[in-house]
Structure 1
Amino acid sequence: MRLKQNAISFSLPSILIASFLFAAVAMTVYSQSAIARSILPEQKEAASARDAVGDAMSKLDDLNKRIKSQEELIAKEQERLQQYQNDKAQTERDLEAKKAVFEQKSKVLDEAWKDRSSY
């Protein structure tokens, strides 16, 4: 009977140790699953923020292209305006020169009429 008691008494601490180990493992697994929560909301928020950054960069790129195009158009129009202003200045000089010639020719014609009338 003594052998039986020793076997039982020896088995009881083994059972207690095994139960303790099982409980410890179960608590560890349960606590890890509780700690390891879902990060899906954070992933969605990060993806949404990344998309917003991409959209903003695309919009900025588009605006930069529009600005460059407009600046090129303005430069061409300023060049055309400068040419018109140069043409105007040249035409005004030509007009003054032609007026001077006209006045001179008109005086000569007036003199010719006067000379003719005196005959």
Structure 2
Amino acid sequence: MQIRQKIQSEREPTIALINIVFLMLVFFMIAGTLAPPLDREIRLVRTADLEGVAPPDTLVIHKDGRLSFRGEDVSDAAAHILALPEEARAVLRVVPDRDLPARDLVKIGNALRAAGAERVILVSERALK
């Protein structure tokens, strides 16, 4: 005599919930729009050919550690700070070269602070765009 047992597979209730949520997601993606479409006649401004240029009142640090301000070389950080008017020493913007070693950037930043700069702000590529 053989005993047969019915093995009933029970499905997880979470699978049905996942399926419903997925179907709702697909429905709302098709039925609605996240933003109204632009008018087809509008031509957007092209900025691919623009060159990022440092703001004029920034201290530029080249990859070899040289400093320049408004296109002219600066001998050292302390001399640059002392040459600035008192109100310009509150916030000093610095544009470091991408290939400048971090230890050199920290050394120059510390020298600027020690010479009297209250805040040293690094200007990055994203800020120039």
TM-score by length of 1: 0.26
Greater helix fraction, Structure 1 or Structure 2? 1
Q: Which has the higher contact order (CA 8 A, sep 6+)?
A: 2
Q: Which has the higher strand share?
A: 2
* Larger CA Rg, structure 1 vs 2: 1
